[in-house]
Structure 1
Amino acid sequence: MSSLQKSILKSKLPPTGLNCGGVPSRALQRKRDYDPILWSPYFDHSEDVEVGENTFHVYSVGTEGPTLVLLHGGGYSGLTWAEFTKCIVTMVVCRVMAIDLRGHGDSHTTNEEDLSADTLALDVAGIIESVSDDQTPIILVGHSMGGAVAVKAAPLITNLAGVVVIDVVEGTAMDALTSMQSFLRSRPSSFNSISQAIEWCVRSGQIRNAQSAKVSVPGQIKNIKTGKLATHDIESLSSDPNHENEVEDVIHREDIIQEEETSNMPPPPHSNKSEKKNYAWRIDLAKTEQHWSGWFKGLSAAFLNIPSPKMLLLAGVDRLDRELTVGQMQGKFQMQVLPACGHAVHEDVPDKVAEAVATFMVRHKFAEPASEFTRTFPAC
């Protein structure tokens, strides 16, 4: 194509950065990419389970096969498993139950601050006892803090079939605790909208899969005015005629802190700009510091001592500590490393995690395959 032809074609295009209506295309792109999604395309039920004086929120799907009990990490909610659930139910015949743990999501307890590993494990055992019979095999699947809770809860489950722990290793976790407060200070404390919170989580690298973030992040933030979880606002936003026409402030690159930048990061500077903040984090993780070491101390030995079949999924082999390295070489558990993802492995690559878990379940004859899927080759 000649330079003259290129010039003619270019002259017929709208100015760069604008759409035909004159609105910055970046703003429209942001609205299109980061609008929140309801839980309903992923789960059949969203309901409360009463355990004593406490109310735990549970998302579930399926009526046959073993039950996968999914336990999220600190600060997340049961919705973090949405994309994983969508994948796993197409691979094996199973039921899925994703729990909002104490102090998280839509669960409400008499003591929201008691996030000790023992209390969380007792909560999980109580929920399972309330909704499941003794005949249904239970596979505990936990990410990060949820992985530690799964290991702690395993001895309390009489019909336990297996345990899957995702990206949490005692040695690495204990080392990371020293920089955790710096990381938490690096996060914005509030957001103008649900979409802005989703954008921040994606662009900061906390969740690298935008589709997953759109359903997951609303379970992590609450409406400052009503105190309710942001998930309750999604339907009203979609029915608001003014919502589609809103153009919010774009989050610029300098406001984004990548994962690798969070160590030794000073607190973000205070902004004098007057902004209306509508959403804040559901849980203040900085105030849970007293429980951090209790989540992970002794985790490796406890994991290795679980008599049921177990699997460890990691985002990188460098996360393996000495005790687990020895155990892996002795064949005490199955290990799978999933590259090209961050700490939220099950959100970043839900299909790969689902394939690994489905292979684990079929290999140990916990479940029947529902379809042909790519069988992952275990590292052990």
Structure 2
Amino acid sequence: MLLTKLGPKNVFNSFKICLGTCPRHITSNIESSDTVELAYASYESTADSVGSSRPPLVILHGLLGSKNNWNSMSKAIHRTTGRKVISIDARNHGDSRHSSQHTYVHMAHDVMKLLKKLDLSKVSLLGHSMGGRTAMVLSLLCSDLVSSLIVVDISPVKTSPQIFSMANLFDAMSSVSIRPGIAMSKARKLADEQLKGITPDVNLRNFLITNLVQTNTGAYTWRVNIPALKDNFQTHISSFPSNLRGLQYCGPTLFVGGSLSDYIGKHDLREIQEYFPLADLVFIEGAGHWVHSQKPEKFLETVCKFLSEK
């Protein structure tokens, strides 16, 4: 297996919206200067395989995550299906560039730009949480580009009350103070101690701390753009764009929820199908919002079964 990690380059290729019926007001204010070059990791094999002729699978992570969170799962999906897998860092996350703008339409355009640069005319999309909404928006705006769609524990028709606790996490991360020059292991421990007052969930704290990085000067900082995420959270991140109502993606679609999560309701399918008429909805027992990390074997089985059939 070849693992390719590529960062942003100062190249822009314009990418026109594929869906001719897309309302002009949704996209007219997205210019080339508004898009961000995205970092990504590519998982592929040198040998020919059954899945190599199928469209690549593009994975979009959730809020405060990165492509690195999907490293093991990306490898497993590639091994199982033979498909090339491309895991992407969203703007303001991971190794991708920062921007003061953080809307789902902007993020969808970022992905379109990357796919254009990679000369990919058809892909399958898999997105978790924030990445799931980005994948939905891209599918609605540019349906010809999307072979199939997998949305993980997020909905276009409702928002979990839990999501609004994120504002407290932004403030807590901003207030973390670590003296420069100490070892990363000690810095992580100090960050964990300072975040305990906000969340007792050790798994959540560990997830947040994956964003802690050390600069060339020895100082510690967060690689996520917390000011931009905080400024855009209430208006643009916490809910699905209302101005996309009336658009549809009519390709194969699977919504995967965690049975212990309230991000997707068990009776939401009818409203989801107003956007995605062919959508199916399945729940993985015993999983919460982070379905792919809490029940990885069942998640892998569910995703690969869908990709093999669609």
TM-score by length of 2: 0.70
- Alignment check: 8 A CA contact 1:315 1:339 kept: yes
The alpha carbon displacement at 1:281 in A equals: 2.2
| 3-state secondary structure, aligned to 1:148 | helix
Q: Kindly indicate whether the alpha-carbon contact (under 8 Å) linking 1:151 and 1:302 is maintained by their aligned counterparts in 2.
A: no
Deviation of 1:337 after TM superposition, in Å, equals 1.2
Gaps of 5+ in 2: 13-32, 46-51
> What per-residue deviation string (whole Å, max 9, x for no partner) do you get for residues 51-76 of structure 1?
52753211011152321111111111
Partner of 2:270: 326
2:82 maps to what in 1?
93
**Residue in structure 1 matching 2:301, options 351, 355, 370:** 355
Moved more, 146-155 or 189-198: 189-198
| Equivalent residues in 2 for 1:219-258, closer than 5 Å | 220-226=211-217
Of 114, 120, 124, the match for 2:111: 124
Q: Is the contact made by 2:157 and 2:268 (CA closer than 8 Å) also made in structure 1?
A: no
Please state how far the C-alpha of 1:128 moved relative to its aligned partner: 0.8
Q: Which moved more, 1:167-176 or 1:79-88?
A: 167-176
Give unmatched runs, 5+ long, in structure 1: 1-41, 228-277, 365-380
Alignment pair present for 1:305 and 2:248? yes
Question: Distance in 2 between the 1:43 and 1:341 partners?
Answer: 31
Q: Distance in 1 between matches of 2:4 and 2:177?
A: 29
Q: Which amino acid aligns with 1:130?
A: K
Deviation at 1:357?
Answer: 1.0
Equivalent residue pairs, number: 262
Q: Deviation at 1:163? A: 0.9
Partners in 1 of 2:135 and 2:60 — Cα distance?
7
CA contact under 8 A between 1:73 and 1:142: conserved in structure 2? yes
**Contact 1:315–1:342 (8 Å) recurs in 2:** yes
Within 5 Å, give how 1:1-380 maps onto structure 2: 44-50=3-9, 51-52=11-12, 54-62=36-44, 64=52, 65-108=54-97, 112-134=99-121, 137-154=122-139, 155-156=141-142, 158-170=144-156, 172-173=158-159, 175-186=161-172, 189=176, 194-195=184-185, 197=188, 200=192, 204-206=202-204, 218=210, 220-226=211-217, 279-285=220-226, 287-292=228-233, 293-295=235-237, 296-298=239-241, 305-316=248-259, 318-321=262-265, 324-327=268-271, 332-364=278-310
Residue 172 of structure 1: how far off its partner (Å): 4.8
Deviation at 1:326, TM superposition (A): 2.4
Give the superposition deviation at 1:354: 1.8
Write out per-residue CA displacement over residues 208-251 of structure 1, whole angstroms, 9 at most, x where no aligned residue: 9xxxx6xx964x22214548xxxxxxxxxxxxxxxxxxxxxxxx
Q: Take 1:304 and 1:165, find their aligned partners in 2: how far apart are those partners?
A: 17
Q: CA deviation at 1:132?
A: 3.1
**Bigger-Rg structure (1/2):** 1
Displacement of 1:106: 1.1
Q: 1:320 to 1:48 in 2, by over 3 A?
A: closer
Identity %: 21
SS at match of 1:341: coil
Shift of 1:91: 1.3
Matches of 2:256 and 2:96, distance apart in 1: 27
1:44 Cα deviation (Å)? 1.0
Larger RCO (alpha carbons 8 Å, 6+ apart): 1
